[in-house]
Amino acid sequence: MRLRSAGRYVVAGVPLGWLLLFFLVPFIIILGISFSQAALSIPPYAPIWEWVGRRVLAVRMHMANYHFLVSDALYVSAFLYSIKVAAISTLLCLLLGYPMAYGIARAAPATRQTLLLLVILPFWTSFLLRVYSWKGLLSEHGLVADIVIGLTVNRWLMTPIERPDYPAVAAYFQRLSARPAFAAHGGSAFP
């Protein structure tokens, strides 16, 4: 029985630790930066706490950033517009999501699977499009390979040295030179 409850804590603790590490810690860092003053140094802000004596911690929190946020009309309007967009999108998601979830939960078991698949399918489509676009960019004949190989071949062909004749390399470079982007940016005569 004890082993089962320990397993529950582990299952809940891993995502909680992930959220603490990658959400809460950066949030606290940014919150601390928001209470500091800008400085011409690295990092570009003054520390909000420092040790003054052996055991005395001095905390210097400045509200100038928040004063600027509420006093500048551009920031106020952008903040209010963000709140408005968030509220409208939340309301639309609730108005669409709850009836759909209720309908899926009340549907027959055979239909429920299909309805759930129809809800999840757009997320898969986006993921598949991203995977195939990266595959196209990073493949052997993709854009990234053309950039690296093309610049190397350009340097090799444009360097004034004696070299053997490779017809396949010359044909590749001729096809690459016909592309407008390479002609504009990569086809200079200087290696």
pLDDT digits (tens, 9 = 90+) for 86-109: 999 999 999 999 999 999 999 999
Q: Indicate whether 25 belongs to any domain.
A: no
Most confident of 41-45, 56-60, 86-90, 126-130: 86-90
Q: Indicate whether 165 belongs to any domain.
A: yes
Q: Indicate whether 164 belongs to any domain.
A: yes
Q: Are 181 and 165 in contact (CB under 8 A)?
A: no
Q: Indicate whether 176 belongs to any domain.
A: yes
Closest CA to 46 of 28, 62, 24: 62
Secondary element (H or E) of residue 76: helix 73-106
Secondary element (H or E) of residue 27: helix 25-34
> For residues 165 and 170, what is the distance between their CA atoms, to the nearest angstrom?
8
Residue type, 130: R
Number of domains in the chain: 1
**Structure tokens belonging to residue 3:** 């082993």
Q: Is the pLDDT of residue 79 over 70?
A: yes
Most confident of 25-29, 147-151, 157-161: 25-29
Secondary element (H or E) of residue 58: strand 57-59
Confidence of residue 41 (pLDDT cuts 50, 70, 90): confident
Q: Indicate whether 178 belongs to any domain.
A: yes
Question: What's the domain range around 171?
Answer: 143-185
Q: Indicate whether 102 belongs to any domain.
A: no
Secondary element (H or E) of residue 57: strand 57-59
Q: Is the pLDDT of residue 190 over 60?
A: no
Q: Indicate whether 155 belongs to any domain.
A: yes
Mean of all residue pLDDT scores within the chain: 86
- Which of 76-80, 84-88, 123-127 bottoms out in mean pLDDT, i.e. has the lowest? 123-127
pLDDT > 70 fraction of the chain, expressed in percent and rounded: 93
Residue 174: per-residue pLDDT = 85
Confidence of residue 191 (pLDDT cuts 50, 70, 90): very low
Distances (CA, A) of 84 to 34, 67, 88, 94: 24, 22, 6, 15
Q: Indicate whether 27 belongs to any domain.
A: no
